[in-house]
Amino acid sequence: MKLAKSRLSIKLITLTVLTVILFVGCEKEESTNEQLIPEAAFSADNTIINQGEIVKFTDQSTNNPTSWEWNFGDGLEFSNEQNPEHVYATAGIFTVSLKATNENGHSSEMKSDYITVNLVDNTVTDIDSNVYQTVAIGTQIWMAENLKVTHMPDGSDIEYISEDYQWSLLENNNTDKAYGYYNNNTSGEADIYGAVYTWAAAMNGGNSSEQNPSGVQGICPDGWHIPSSEEWFTMINYLGGKNVAGGKLKEPGTAHWTLNEGATNESGFTALPGGYRNANGSYYTINSFGYWWSASEEYDVNGWSFTMNHMNSEIDSEGQFKSSGMSIRCVKD
């Protein structure tokens, strides 16, 4: 009997010790978990850049964060990627911050005056000495004005056609190069909205391209090219998709647009409603619609164009006869 009691006492003592060990182990695990809040940290591959260049940021946070919130300081874009890239489109000195989070909590690191962006000449000059403002949108640099050049990059003339009938004789092909000005106003509409060109003039003998970049200089100045439809879609997606990108591209107000719903021009693209010239030579929709060629074909007789209108914030793509006259925006190589 005494032996049984002794064995029972030993079992109770053993059970108590195990319970204490388990309890202490749980406390240690909870204490360890409490210490696994991320310690936010980051670096950049370059902290002094020129306007329009890209900075690559690297997350160096410890304790296994599972989400990230980046603020690049210029108010143009935020990111939830772990290691994002960011284009600084404006000059200045910018503070960058990172918030790193996991299930145990979060912490932040802020680096004041971390990125210095030097001002550069945001212009490009064509063969006729016309000077255009440019703008960085995502990783692309676009002209911020419609093209108005009257010569190809090699100096050769582009045929100017004022008469509707003569324009109507142009074929929907890759060789009939021509341009015009809305209502043949060479000093009014031409200065504001630029010229309208056939697809053949835009391409200047280049082949249709869906590549990004297109690789088609076309009518553009040296170092620039006609954007493919893929390059247009890259910009559209960067700005939030087709339903809202138009508003971010359009010049605000009604100085040039009628009504002009949803226009903010937060991209700096400053899209203007230059209208278009149809295959019969007639002009339409100035102040209401803007049309721009791409370097991409829809069919043999059609090129892809992109259009914005005064009624909403959308940007649409549609095929147009190659003999139609459309505006042009070039993209930097």
List CB contacts of 53: < 8 A, sequence separation 6 or more. 46, 87, 88, 117
- Over residues 26-39, the mean pLDDT reads 61
Give pLDDT, residue 139: 81
Q: How confident is the model at residue 29 (pLDDT cuts 50, 70, 90)?
A: very low
Q: Is the pLDDT of residue 13 over 70?
A: no
Q: 111 in helix, strand or coil?
A: strand
Fold exhibited by the domain 42-118: Immunoglobulin-like (2.60.40)
Which of 226, 147, 141, 220 is closest to 180 using CA atoms?
A: 147
- Over residues 40-52, the mean pLDDT reads 93
Give pLDDT, residue 133: 94
pLDDT tens profile 47-62: 999 888 899 999 999 9
Give pLDDT, residue 4: 47
Q: Which helix (H) or strand (E) holds 296?
A: strand 289-299
Q: Which residue has the higher pLDDT, 200 or 138?
A: 200
pLDDT tens profile 184-193: 988 778 899 9
Distance CA 266, CA 249 (A): 7
pLDDT tens profile 250-263: 999 999 999 899 99
Q: How confident is the model at residue 34 (pLDDT cuts 50, 70, 90)?
A: low
Pairing assessment for the beta strands 315-321 and 302-309 based on DSSP bridges: antiparallel
pLDDT tens profile 279-300: 999 999 999 999 999 999 999 9
Q: How confident is the model at residue 20 (pLDDT cuts 50, 70, 90)?
A: very low
Taking the domains of the chain in order of start, what are their residue ranges? 42-118, 123-332
Give pLDDT, residue 52: 80
Distance CA 98, CA 115 (A): 14
Q: 77 in helix, strand or coil?
A: coil
pLDDT tens profile 204-259: 999 999 999 999 999 999 999 999 999 999 999 999 999 999 999 999 999 999 98
Q: Supply 295's token pair.
A: 């370097």
Classify residue 324 by its DSSP letter: S
Which of 41, 134, 147 is closest to 96 using CA atoms?
A: 41
Give the chain's count of helices (H) and strands (E): 6, 21
Strand arrangement, sheet containing 78-79: 48-50, 105-118, 92-102, 67-71, 78-79
Distance CA 201, CA 206 (A): 10
Which of 66, 63, 65, 70 is closest to 44 using CA atoms?
A: 70
pLDDT tens profile 101-137: 999 999 999 999 999 998 777 899 999 999 999 998 8
List CB contacts of 109: < 8 A, sequence separation 6 or more. 40, 41, 42, 97, 98, 100
Q: Is the pLDDT of residue 100 over 70?
A: yes
Residues 287, 257: contact at Cβ < 8 Å?
yes
Classify residue 275 by its DSSP letter: B
Residues 305, 274: contact at Cβ < 8 Å?
no
Give pLDDT, residue 50: 87
Give pLDDT, residue 27: 46
Give pLDDT, residue 51: 82
Give pLDDT, residue 24: 44
Which of 111, 112, 84, 99 is closest to 38 using CA atoms?
A: 99
Q: How confident is the model at residue 15 (pLDDT cuts 50, 70, 90)?
A: very low
